[in-house]
Each structure stands twice: as C-alpha cells, then as structure tokens.
Amino acid sequence: MNRSWRNAVLLALIGALVVPLAAVSAEKNWKAGTAYKVLAPSSGLPSGEVVEFFSYACVHCFKFQGNVTRIASGLPKGVSVRMVPVAWSETWEPFARSYYAAEKLGVAKVAHEDAFNYVIFTLQGKGSVGDMAAFYKKYGVDPNSFRAAAESPEVSDRLEEDRKIYEHIQLLGTPAFVVDGRYMTGEVGSYEELEALTIWLIKKAQL
C-alpha cells in the first residue's frame, strides 16, 4: 500500500473514533437545507425505501459499513437499504459496474464486506473490471461471465440512470442516504451523526 493511500485510510479510521458527545444527540438542530435536503417529487427515487449512495473506492463508505448494518437492522418489515454504486469518475466506474454485475450474478451481498476490503487495501481504490472479476472468482463466478455482465448494455443503462438521478438531486459526496425518495442526508460531523440522522429521517418519513 503506498504511503499517501495508507495515510488517507488511517486518517479516516482514526477520525471515526473521535466523536463529540453532542454529535449523536444533535437531532434537535437538524434543519432542512443544512443537515438534510427535501427532494422534489421528480427526484427519480421511489418512495418506501432507503437508498445508500456509495463506492467501494470510498474510504468513508468502507468505514461506515457497521453503521449501515445497524440502520438496516432497525428498519420496518419489508423495508431494506438499497445500494446504489456511484461512478463519479473513470476511477470509480469499474467498481460501480462490478457491483451491478455481482448483483446480477447473485453474489453482491455475500461478497460485499470482502469487496470493500479488497478494493481499499489491495487495489488501494484503483482497479479494473478485470481485477474485480478475479476477486469474485473465489465466490464461484466465472471471470468471463463476470466481465460480460459488468460490460453489458443493461449495466451501462443502470449507470446512466443512476448518474441522472444523483446529478438531479445534486449529490455531493458519499456515503449519503435518500429516505422515501424525499429526504437526502447532508453535511454532518461524524459517522455516528450520519447514522443517527438517517434513522431520524426514516422515522420522519414514517416508513
């Protein structure tokens, strides 16, 4: 692991441990337009679900996975967290394609945590569909089938649809959540505060 990438990962991990006591209880100060954004009905996201925008190349998304598990465990019956992989750039696009390929081939959930570790620590946030095809081989996926799925028109269409959505809602960073197609998380001070805000928005939406 090169020094700059290692330092970025370490800073994210260390920073996550320093949580102001006021952060988790700050919901009384959460205001629309700052802590969260109220989306127009034309957001392109359906009601009745929680969406996480993420990338395997995002160190903060990697660190936030434990929080996502807690959020998902408290959701009402029939409601789940739907993952949307963000392709901000050519660097992130292979991982977005790979997530949808893994989803199509039935291994996205079982390999999710391992995929984060592989991209963050082995690939250092930069890799190709071929790298991911090699990774998913240990989950019983044929590399040629994986590459075909990742490069398929179906996945390309999904990425384009996703881009239109997060450009329309003006997504600024990851991880971020949209609740019930109406509320998008905004700027917060810690991972714990983002978790608490997301849970608060779920309650506000009465899912």
Angle at 197 between CA 73 and CA 32, to 5 degrees: 145
Q: Encoding tokens for residue 206?
A: 């009465």
Peptide bond into 41 cis (omega under 30): no
Name the pLDDT band for 115 (thresholds 50, 70, 90).
very high
The answer, yes or no, to whether residue 131 has pLDDT greater than 70, is yes
pLDDT at 179: 96
* pLDDT, the chain, mean: 89
Q: How confident is the model over 80-91, as a mean pLDDT?
A: 94
Q: Is residue 199 a contact partner of residue 79, using CB atoms and an 8 Å limit?
A: no
Q: Is 193 helix (H, G, I), strand (E, B) or coil?
A: helix
- Domains of the chain and any CATH numbers: 3-205 (3.40.30.10)
Asked if residue 49 has pLDDT above 50, the reply is yes
- How many CA atoms within 13 Å lie on the side-chain side of 7? 3
How far are the Cα atoms of 12, 57, 58, 92, 120 from residue 123, in angstroms, in the given order?
Answer: 17, 9, 12, 12, 6
**3-class SS of residue 90:** coil
How many C-beta neighbours within 10 Å does residue 10 have? 11
Q: Which two tokens stand for residue 85?
A: 């992989």
Which residues in 5-69 belong to E strands, given as ranges? 36-38, 50-54
User: What average pLDDT does this structure show over 119-140?
Assistant: 97
Q: What is the pLDDT of residue 147?
A: 98
